[in-house]
Structure 1
């Protein structure tokens, strides 16, 4: 009832004004002041203006992603029981760090012979699992790396590493941040968090990813010169490097696809080293795709091949993995 009666009063007042009744100066002043306030509010709080001012990323005309300067790492660390490799004497810690307004969970595995009081700290590896694999599910490889002497920070990637390209394209078109950009940013923040752990040598850091994780690892390495190199296991780019830009009708879609393709960043990797390990008989990503990505890359680079009919890390990859890590993080 109160809303209707209030509306009636407003209608009557409007009729008086429109019939030629003189409006007092205080009323004119108040109306003018309100219009000014509303105008300022519209400028300051226009959603499109807000988006443009707060975007933490940029895309070049060539489709290369870049981020503005990152804030200081904010994280917590708690030592936990190692339920995933209980026979190993490693130290396992649960790490939670802030990234683009979210809390990212990670497991920090430290070789038993490393400690904050030792004269030599461990080299560190950011470890990105493949799609559908959690940080816990990747601890088998993390334990293998620990036996080689390397600490690992293994992430729970957003969507557990799975991607929805169509949804991300819509976000990109709307001026919003695609989830894949957030996943790359998470990897960059993880490298920062790992570098300041007391057991870690910040001068000896690398990133390793399996399958989809390898794609994000390549892009992150290209964007972070502090990383000595990247190892991609059972991974490849998407091949947008082979597309002629002049033949593309939708330039915005092209720029987006270029921005999420690791092939786009291969020319920016050097002097960091690219290492690909792939099976000739990979059941998910063909060896031909991995070889194409390797051919796009500049030196320094290396590629190793196995023969298992599987996807992801296998024991036969260990000698080549150990060899390359010793070169990267010597």
Structure 2
């Protein structure tokens, strides 16, 4: 009888141990499931760092630090230091050229976004003028060299995918992060400057990043999408077209300054379109009219540009 009691006790202990093991296993399983769910949610947040509001306003979450490498450094040209860089932006790598003026102190920085078909090297005349004024610049080769395809982007947006034009705005924001990270640059004094298509991205990027001190748009305008009757078009199409129009954002840049330069007989963008865009900007703002048909930066406006940049960075 004692032996049977002993065996019975042993069986009970074994059952208890098995129950405990099952409980532990279940607990581990629950923890793993929860961890997996958290990981999935985290990845979803990481991949969905952009959104467009019902009113058509784009928003982005930027990484804390730019991921870039210097591919060629300390080339001296006209007493300026040139630094070739490559930085990661979304699904691609962007090539940029940093120009630094000779200075013993940190200088303000300007992100320069060329127009369609214009390379970072083509835009170095403007960058050199800005260096003469005492400003560092980062000029980028934009995706598709600044070319856009709104119809293809609309298809992506309707599929819930990120449009290329949105990525181009993100590229501008990342370029600002790269410029801020240069030891020669005052990270708290960064402005945006864009020409033609680049001006559109510059205006949107300046509106999205409150740390940007101001924006200069040269030979650029909005698309007048505010005239679209949202009740007459597809809701997603309305949101997309509004999201790529600088006129959707330009008023929100205030109290930072908006500066625009445009030729009276611009060969690409009619002057009256620029007037409509400028009208939507809130104060402080300034518009400079250039005589002729020039589309792009004209060195004849260097004095006015220098004056306005001084006001932006004061």
**TM-score, normalised relative to structure 2:** 0.83
| Aligned partner (choices 148, 153, 156) of residue 138 of structure 2 | 153
1:321 and 2:313 matched:
no
Which residue in 1 is equivalent to 2:17?
Answer: none
Task: Give, in whole Å, the separation in 1 of the partners of 2:131 and 2:53.
Answer: 39
| Aligned partner (choices 264, 277, 283) of residue 280 of structure 1 | 264
Q: What pairs with 1:258-277 in structure 2 (closer than 5 Å)?
A: 258-277=242-261
Which residue in 2 is equivalent to 1:180?
Answer: 165
| Residues 86-134 of structure 1 deviation map (CA, whole Å, 9 limit, x = unaligned) | 4x1100001111111321110000002x2xxx3x211100000000001
| Aligned partner (choices 102, 115, 118) of residue 130 of structure 1 | 115
Structure 1, unaligned runs of 5 or more: 1-39, 45-49
Which residue in 1 is equivalent to 2:20?
Answer: none
Query: Contact between 1:51 and 1:176, CA under 8 Å: does it hold in 2?
Result: no
Secondary structure at 1:94 match in 2: strand
168 and 268 in structure 1: CA distance in 2 versus 1, 3 angstrom threshold: same
Task: Give, in whole Å, the separation in 2 of the partners of 1:173 and 1:185.
Answer: 19
| Residues 149-195 of structure 1 deviation map (CA, whole Å, 9 limit, x = unaligned) | 11100011000011011111111111111110111001001111111
278 and 326 in structure 1: CA distance in 2 versus 1, 3 angstrom threshold: same
Task: Give, in whole Å, the separation in 2 of the partners of 1:319 and 1:242.
Answer: 36
Task: Give, in whole Å, the separation in 2 of the partners of 1:304 and 1:100.
Answer: 35
The alpha carbon displacement at 1:69 in A equals 4.0
1:104 and 2:84 matched:
no
Which residue in 1 is equivalent to 2:7?
Answer: none
Which residue in 1 is equivalent to 2:197?
Answer: 212
The alpha carbon displacement at 1:316 in A equals 1.7
Secondary structure at 1:81 match in 2: strand
1:90 and 2:83 matched:
no
Which residue in 2 is equivalent to 1:81?
Answer: 75
CA RMSD of aligned residues (A): 1.9
Which residue in 2 is equivalent to 1:255?
Answer: 239
Task: Give, in whole Å, the separation in 2 of the partners of 1:257 and 1:228.
Answer: 26
Structure 2, unaligned runs of 5 or more: 1-32, 38-42
| Residues 221-276 of structure 1 deviation map (CA, whole Å, 9 limit, x = unaligned) | 00001111000000000001233333x23121111000000000012111221100
Which residue in 2 is equivalent to 1:47?
Answer: none
| Aligned partner (choices 277, 302, 308) of residue 286 of structure 2 | 302
206 and 177 in structure 1: CA distance in 2 versus 1, 3 angstrom threshold: same
Task: Give, in whole Å, the separation in 1 of the partners of 2:133 and 2:65.
Answer: 30
The alpha carbon displacement at 1:290 in A equals 0.5
Query: Contact between 1:58 and 1:67, CA under 8 Å: does it hold in 2?
Result: yes
Q: How many residues align?
A: 274
User: Any runs of at least 4 consecutive aligned residues in structure 1 with deviations exceeding 4 A, and if so which?
Assistant: 50-53
**TM-score, normalised relative to structure 1:** 0.79
Task: Give, in whole Å, the separation in 2 of the partners of 1:228 and 1:166.
Answer: 33
The alpha carbon displacement at 1:202 in A equals 1.2
Secondary structure at 2:210 match in 1: coil
Moved more, 149-158 or 314-323: 314-323
